[in-house]
Amino acid sequence: MTGAAVVFGSVVDDLTRMLSLTFMQYALVAAVCAGVAGPLLGSYLVHRGMALVGDALGHVTFGGVALGFLVAALVGWEQPLLVALVFAVLAALGMQHLSVHTDAYGDVPVAILLTGGFAVGVLVINFDSVRLAGSIEDYLFGNVVLLSTTDLYVVVALTVAVVGTVAVTHKQLLYITFDREAAGVSRVKVGFYDTLLVVLAAGFVVASIYVLGVILVAAMLVVPVAAAMQTATRFRQSMVHAVVVGEFSAVGGVVAAYLLDLVVGPTIVLIAISVYAGSVLYSYA
Amino acid sequence: MKTVEVDDITFAYGDDEVLTDVSFSIDEGGYHALVGPNGAGKSTLLKIVLGKLVPDEGEARLFDETAHRFKDGARIGYVSQNAPGAGERMPVSVREVVRMGRVPRAGLSRFRRRDTEQVDKALRRAGIAEIADRQIGSLSGGQRQRAYIARALAGEPDLLALDEPTVGVDAEARDGFYDLLGELNDDGITVLLIEHDIETVVERAETLTCVNRTVFYDDDADGFLGSDGFVKAYGKGTPSTGGAP
């Protein structure tokens, strides 16, 4: 056998072993979910100049997970992801309210959400009664080992909800993204779809916390879309390209991290950024 | 029947009153221009007419309903000055832009054959069918404005409202744009146009309202240049083209 054949055989053995491990099966399913929902939502958020909303919601989700473990310590209900979802959705609604009803402009509500959410998280995890399932780093940068079966159900349900809602409301989301003034004149409920978009983003962020972590989750909203912008001329085409990049990065990142013993979240992000760099070079060519 | 009725409207941004006792109306099928110096309150007035702002006093009516309560967005086609700004960097094709005009008709349902047919028809009518698959950001200013008027047409509107639609468009493309607008008006679509080029307005529109916080002229367009209202609204440095002094 040649050296290449030996290496190939070894990789196949590793992949076979990987697919037999329950936590890696969970990780791949969660990665597939992140790779589709993130780029879909990001396609609207990025073009509306809301790329950092995902970052803010990520930090809020950290606070939400911490509160989830506080709830577990206090009443014994151990569903940190669901508590995080409630917290993130409420924070997203609060951010929208601040944007519309106060004189806070631009990214001020985003900055308040980002720092406030993280402050809640840091405060709560330092309570003596709170015991995280993993380390702080696991939540900051992701750790697929923490995914329980219930968590996986939540992740899949959130992804189905996000994709289904986008499929039904795509026309309206595209219109308000492209030209919110004309959409408003056409009686498209701009405020409602603004809110819907950030609530869906909150759902995606919560669903992706174990794969990407709160610090890195925004990458899946932004980087695949940025790559797709280099290659697509139509919006639907750009969404397809973004999802392909997202899936390649997410699934490829999980597999590469397993094979090379790397941390999953950063691996996914760096693969996505590499694809983006390649797409920029392609656009120059 | 009146398509637009504005009755004694007063509107202020905070303490800054920008419109006082403004009234005018547009007959069904009319071609009406709204002119005035920069900062005269024209765009604010248009937003009130379209129901996007609520007047402090008075009432604006669209198709015989209070404008800000009017729900049938498909009946209004809207083309703005620099629509849509940052959105033009998006990877969006001309056809996708024009299809947006069908959103108020389709609602949450999928686009159906009639929607596709109307989009194709609007593309042909605006003379941009051959560039339907090009990215909107790659078009010239004149082509882009045609795309936006096609978007408005796709909704099968009864009223076309245009806020300085040819800013930044070259003279030849602008003439073509106004020829198209005239043809659409001949087909029965009511036109409400804000335009800073007074000569174009007087030549193209049937009726005209000149505002500068309040109404200075409201009558046939061709009598405007010889009117007191023209001089009073614009002052001594009256413009022929290019807006306020």
pLDDT in tens, A187-220: 999 999 999 999 999 999 999 999 999 899 999 9
Residue A260 lies in a domain: no
Closest residue, chain B, to A181 (C-alpha) = B84
What pLDDT shows up at residue A108? 86
Q: What is the largest CA-CA distance in chain A?
A: 71
Amino acid at B197: D
Contacts of B111 in chain A (CB under 8 A): 171
Q: What tens digit of pLDDT does each residue of A241-262 get?
A: 999 999 999 999 999 999 999 9
A276 inside domain: no
Please tell me the distance from the alpha carbon of residue B31 to that of residue B205, in angstroms, as a whole number: 5
Q: Which residues of B touch A186 (CB under 8 A)?
A: 73-74, 76, 78, 101, 103-104, 155
**Would an 8 Å CB–CB cutoff place A190 in contact with chain B?**
no
In this complex, the residue of A47, A178, A228 whose CB is nearest that of residue B100 is: A178
- Please tell me if residue A170 touches chain B, with a CB cutoff of 8 Å: no
For A156-194, write each residue's pLDDT tens digit: 999 999 999 999 999 999 999 999 899 999 999 999 999
**Residue B203 belongs to a domain:** no
Task: Find chain B residues with C-beta within 8 A of A51's C-beta.
Answer: none
CB contact under 8 A, B96 and A47: no
Which residues of B are less than 8 Å from A234 in CB distance? 91-93, 96, 133, 135
Q: Hey, what amino acid is at B5?
A: E
pLDDT score for A1: 59
**CATH code of the domain containing A189:** 1.10.3470.10
B3: three-class secondary structure by DSSP = strand
Q: How confident is the model at residue B86 (pLDDT cuts 50, 70, 90)?
A: low
Smallest Cα distance from A47 to chain B, Å: 7
How many beta-carbon pairs under 8 angstroms link A with B? 90
Residue given tokens 């929208």 in the structure block = A96
**Using the beta-carbon criterion (under 8 Å), do B97 and A178 form an inter-chain contact?**
yes
Chain B residues within an 8 Å CB radius of A232: 91
A233 token code pair: 């001329």
Question: CB under 8 Å to B116, separation ≥6 — which residues?
Answer: none
Instruction: Please report, as a single letter, which amino acid is at residue A17.
Output: R
Summarised one tens digit per residue, pLDDT across range A40-64 is: 999 999 998 888 888 999 999 999 9
pLDDT-derived band at B73 (thresholds 50, 70, 90) equals very high
Please state the rounded mean pLDDT for residues A81-93: 93
Its ipTM equals 0.90
Chain B closest-CA separation from residue A105 CA (Å): 18
| Neighbouring C-beta atoms of residue B103, cutoff 10 Å | 26
Kindly state whether residue B208 falls inside one of the protein's structural domains.
no
User: Can you tell me the distance from the alpha carbon of B15 to that of A247, in angstroms, rounded to the nearest whole number?
Assistant: 54
Does any domain span residue B9? yes
Between helices A235-260 and A264-284, what is the axis angle to 10°? Answer: 130
Q: How many domains are contained in chain A?
A: 1
**Inter-chain residue contact B104 with A184, CB threshold 8 Å:** no
What does the pLDDT read at residue B204? 93
The tens digit of pLDDT for each residue in B180-239 reads: 999 999 999 999 999 888 988 899 999 999 999 999 999 999 999 888 888 888 875 555
Of A168, A171, A235, the CB nearest to B90: A235
The minimal CB distance from A178 to the residues B70, B84, B155 is found for: B84
In one-letter notation, the amino acid at residue B203 is E
Whole-Å CA distances, A243 to A40, A43, B40, B168, B238: 7, 10, 48, 37, 56
Q: Which member of B91, B104, B133 has the closest CB to residue A238?
A: B91
Q: Coil, helix or strand for B113?
A: helix
With tokens 């697919």, the residue in question is A19
Tell me whether residue A97 is in a domain.
Answer: yes
Residue of A nearest to B148 (CA): A182
Residue B242 — very low, low, confident or very high, per pLDDT cuts 50/70/90? very low
Residues of A in contact with B116 (CB under 8 A): none
The CATH number that applies at residue B11 is: 3.40.50.300
Q: Which residues contact B205 (CB under 8 A, 6 or more apart)?
A: B31, B32, B33, B191, B193, B221
Does A62 reside within a domain? yes
A177 touches chain B (CB under 8 A): yes
Tell me the shortest Cα–Cα distance from A42 to chain B, in angstroms: 13
Expressed as residue numbers, the domain containing B179 is 2-27+38-160+171-187
Structure tokens at A202: 């909150």
How many domains does one find in chain B? Answer: 1
Structural domain includes residue A103: yes
Distance from CA of A202 to the nearest CA of B (A): 23
Decide if B194 is inside a domain.
no
Inter-chain contact A47–B73, Cβ cutoff 8 Å?
A: no
List of chain A residues whose C-beta atoms are within 8 Å of the C-beta of residue B93: 233-235
For residue A11, pLDDT beyond 90: no
Distance from CA of B203 to the nearest CA of A (A): 27
Inter-chain residue contact B135 with A178, CB threshold 8 Å: no
Q: How far is B59 from chain A (nearest CA, A)?
A: 18
CB contact at 8 A, B204 and B181: yes
Per residue in B137-195, pLDDT tens? Answer: 999 888 898 999 999 999 999 999 999 888 877 888 888 889 999 999 999 999 999 98
Exposure letters A81-102 (e unless 16+ CB within 10 A, then b): bbbbbebbbebbebbbebbeee
* Average pLDDT in chain B: 90
To which residue do tokens 């840091």 refer? Answer: A122
Nearest CA in chain B to A178: B87
Name which of A156, A138, A122 is nearest A263 in CA terms.
Answer: A138
Residue A168 domain flag: yes
Count of other CB atoms within 10 angstroms of residue A48 = 18
The pLDDT of residue B70 is above 50: yes
Q: Does residue A240 sit within a domain?
A: no
B162: closest chain A residue by CA: A182
Q: Which domain holds residue A103?
A: 18-217
Position A138 scores a pLDDT of 85
Cα-Cα-Cα-Cα torsion B56, B57, B63, B64, nearest 10 degrees, comes to 140
At A120-161, the pLDDT tens digits run 999 999 998 888 877 888 888 888 888 999 999 999 999 999
**Is residue B10 in a domain?**
yes
Asked whether residue A67 is assigned to any structural domain, the reply reads: yes
Element containing residue B211 per DSSP (H, E): strand B207-212
**Where does the pLDDT of residue A106 fall: very low under 50, low under 70, confident under 90, or very high at 90 and above?**
low
Helix ranges (DSSP H) in B107-225: 113-125, 141-154, 171-186, 198-204
Beta-sheet strands, E only, within chain A: none
Backbone φ and ψ for A172, nearest 5 degrees, come out as -70, -40
Which residues does chain A have within 8 Å of residue B80's beta carbon, measured at their own beta carbons?
181-182
Going from the C-alpha of A102 to that of each of A95, A110, A113, A226, the distances in angstroms are 10, 13, 15, 31
C-alpha torsion sign, points B127, B131, B135, B137: negative
Confidence of residue B48 (pLDDT cuts 50, 70, 90): very high
Res. A104: pLDDT tops 70: no
Q: What's the mean per-residue pLDDT of chain A? A: 92
What confidence score (pLDDT) does residue B239 get?
Answer: 57
Q: Would you say residue B75 lies in a domain?
A: yes
